[in-house]
């Protein structure tokens, strides 16, 4: 969709002719109260699940669909590609409205709040004045928190998965290093690379650093041990790939590099470092949350998550409760680290199904009491 109004950016500047890519599944109820907005992590597109228009599996295929935890017979699920990304929404790789090539590093500073603001404008364009739930994973968890802070009362329920109110210094260090690797690649050319491959070496290495923070040591021990790669893969060049774990990382990183624009990566990555929910309460996290006027929240963390470790979800859930929000906190023993929500289907599927059902149950009870 094309937004009619300009988008004023949090750190200054504004964007005109903003385009947002989105997908939706399920039908909106007459009262419009069954909408779930899905906020994505740094790298996914709006294609969370298969649809008639695009029958390929989406990044959260097991979660969204008929009979699935976000049950599209019951809810309308809407997912936007984040502002600043490169899968159809306006970002650094998009052409400037005046026709002068891609924005590149002239794209205005991007904050998580800007991603939320774009979604708000997108929902307005769709005629949706309020929603049932905001659901976000990783960066998407931050985007959902930013949305709730900027638009109090817009949503009743909030689900934050493998995210936090602000990044830890260790997570900042990892992302800072990923950005440095990309910027150190001569092919980055100060951000002015020609449309096309761009800084592939830097992106490949940045992705590998990312993968090391997304998964867990324990998972790799179980999956790869000290196995060598397939012997038929040819001779090993000096200091080249020998172990299965190296092979896995390399294949994943090469696939990623083909799909993601380097400048978009830099902007989205930095936005995660900058985000600090407490800023919305002048430094007071509980105050920032109290102003959201939420009813219920689900906060999910994973014990093996190195990027957003469980103590951060404990901190967030504690603040939610102190702000009077009926909050469920779940710390899961999944071995897949930060990325567990993509792969640990039984645990995550059951949690979201239960949380939404309990909310619907509470509503029904409230209605019966009101009618009685």
Q: Which of 184, 192, 197, 361 binds its own copies (CB under 8 A)?
A: 184
Two tokens, residue 279: 């800023």
- # binding residues, its own copies (CB under 8 A): 47
Told to judge if 138 belongs to the known catalytic residues of this protein, a careful annotator would answer yes
Q: Is residue 221 part of the contact set for its own copies (CB under 8 A)?
A: yes
Residue 124 CA to residue 210 CA, distance in Å, equals 34
Q: Is residue 173 part of the contact set for its own copies (CB under 8 A)?
A: yes
Which residue stretch of 30-38, 85-93, 211-219, 356-364 sits at the interface with its own copies (rule: CB under 8 A)? Answer: 211-219
Query: Bridge-partner residues for 136, per DSSP?
Result: 39, 160
Residue 297 CA to residue 73 CA, distance in Å, equals 22
Q: Is residue 217 part of the contact set for its own copies (CB under 8 A)?
A: yes
Q: How far is the CB of 235 from its own copies (least distance, A)?
A: 14
Nearest CA among 108, 131, 121 for reference residue 80:
121
Q: How far is the CB of 131 from its own copies (least distance, A)?
A: 30
Whole-Å CA distances, 282 to 117, 276, 277: 20, 10, 9
Q: How far is the CB of 310 from its own copies (least distance, A)?
A: 12
Q: Pairing state of beta strands 7-8 and 64-65? A: unpaired
**What is the three-class DSSP state of 341?**
helix
Q: Is residue 338 part of the contact set for its own copies (CB under 8 A)?
A: no
One of 138, 143, 213, 334 is an active-site residue; which one? Answer: 138
Residue 367 CA to residue 372 CA, distance in Å, equals 8
Residue 3 CA to residue 7 CA, distance in Å, equals 8
Residue 170 CA to residue 110 CA, distance in Å, equals 21
Q: Which of 47, 68, 156, 179 binds its own copies (CB under 8 A)?
A: 179
Contact code string over 90-129 relative to its own copies, x by CB under 8 A: ---------------x------------------------
Q: What angle do CA 133, 134, 135 make, to 5 degrees?
A: 115
DSSP run (H or E) holding 22: strand 22-25
Q: Which of 63, 266, 292, 302 binds its own copies (CB under 8 A)?
A: 266
Q: Which of 19, 125, 150, 212 binds its own copies (CB under 8 A)?
A: 212
Q: Which of 148, 159, 160, 167 binds its own copies (CB under 8 A)?
A: 167
Which residue stretch of 15-23, 76-84, 266-274, 353-361 sits at the interface with its own copies (rule: CB under 8 A)? Answer: 266-274
Told to judge if 47 belongs to the known catalytic residues of this protein, a careful annotator would answer no
Scanning residues 302 to 321, which ones bind its own copies (CB under 8 A)? 306, 309
**What is the three-class DSSP state of 32?**
coil
The contacts of residue 293 (CB under 8 Å, 6+ apart) are 152, 153
Q: What count of residues does the chain have?
A: 372
One of 71, 261, 273, 305 is an active-site residue; which one? Answer: 305
Nearest CA among 348, 359, 363 for reference residue 36:
359
Which residue stretch of 86-94, 181-189, 283-291, 292-300 sits at the interface with its own copies (rule: CB under 8 A)? Answer: 181-189
Q: Is residue 176 part of the contact set for its own copies (CB under 8 A)?
A: yes
Residue for token digits 């002068």?
100
Q: Is residue 208 part of the contact set for its own copies (CB under 8 A)?
A: yes
Binding region for its own copies (CB under 8 A): 105, 166-174, 176-177, 179-181, 183-184, 186, 191, 201, 205, 208-209, 212, 216-217, 220-221, 223-226, 238-239, 241-246, 249, 266, 270, 273, 276, 306, 309
Supply the residues annotated as catalytic.
Answer: 138, 305, 338
């Amino acid at each position: 969709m094309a937004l009619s109004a300009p988008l004023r950016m949090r750190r200054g500047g504004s964007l005109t002719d903003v385009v947002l890519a989105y997908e939706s599944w399920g039908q909106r109820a007459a009262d419009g109260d069954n909408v779930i907005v899905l906020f994505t992590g740094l790298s996914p597109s709006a294609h969370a699940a298969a649809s008639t228009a695009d029958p390929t599996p989406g990044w959260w295929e097991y979660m969204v669909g008929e009979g699935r935890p976000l049950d599209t017979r019951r809810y309308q699920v809407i997912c936007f590609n984040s502002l600043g990304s490169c899968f159809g929404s306006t970002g650094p790789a998009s052409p400037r409205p005046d026709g002068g090539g891609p924005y590149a590093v002239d794209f205005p500073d991007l904050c998580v709040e800007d991603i939320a603001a774009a979604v708000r404008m997108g929902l307005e364009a769709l005629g949706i004045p309020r929603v049932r739930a905001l659901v976000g994973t990783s960066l998407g968890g931050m985007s959902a928190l930013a949305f709730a802070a900027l638009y109090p009362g817009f949503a009743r329920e909030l689900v934050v998965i493998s995210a936090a109110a602000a990044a830890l210094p260790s997570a900042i260090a990892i992302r800072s290093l990923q950005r440095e690797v990309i910027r150190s690649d001569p092919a980055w050319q100060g951000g002015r690379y020609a449309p096309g491959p761009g800084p592939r070496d830097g992106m490949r290495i940045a992705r590998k650093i990312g993968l090391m923070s997304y998964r867990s040591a324990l998972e790799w021990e179980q999956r790869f041990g000290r196995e060598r790669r397939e012997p038929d893969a040819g001779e090993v060049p000096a200091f080249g790939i020998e172990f299965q774990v190296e092979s896995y990382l390399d294949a994943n990183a090469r696939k990623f590099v083909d799909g993601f624009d380097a400048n978009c990566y830099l902007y989205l990555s930095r936005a995660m470092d900058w985000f600090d929910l407490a800023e919305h309460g002048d430094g007071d996290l509980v105050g920032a949350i109290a102003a959201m006027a939420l009813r219920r929240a689900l906060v999910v963390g994973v014990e093996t998550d190195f990027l957003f470790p469980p103590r951060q979800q404990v901190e967030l859930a504690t603040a939610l409760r102190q702000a009077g929000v009926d909050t469920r906190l779940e710390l899961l023993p999944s071995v897949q680290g930060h990325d567990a929500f993509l792969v640990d289907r039984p645990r995550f599927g059951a949690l979201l199904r239960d949380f939404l059902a309990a909310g619907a149950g509470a509503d029904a009870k409230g209605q019966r009491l009101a009618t009685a």
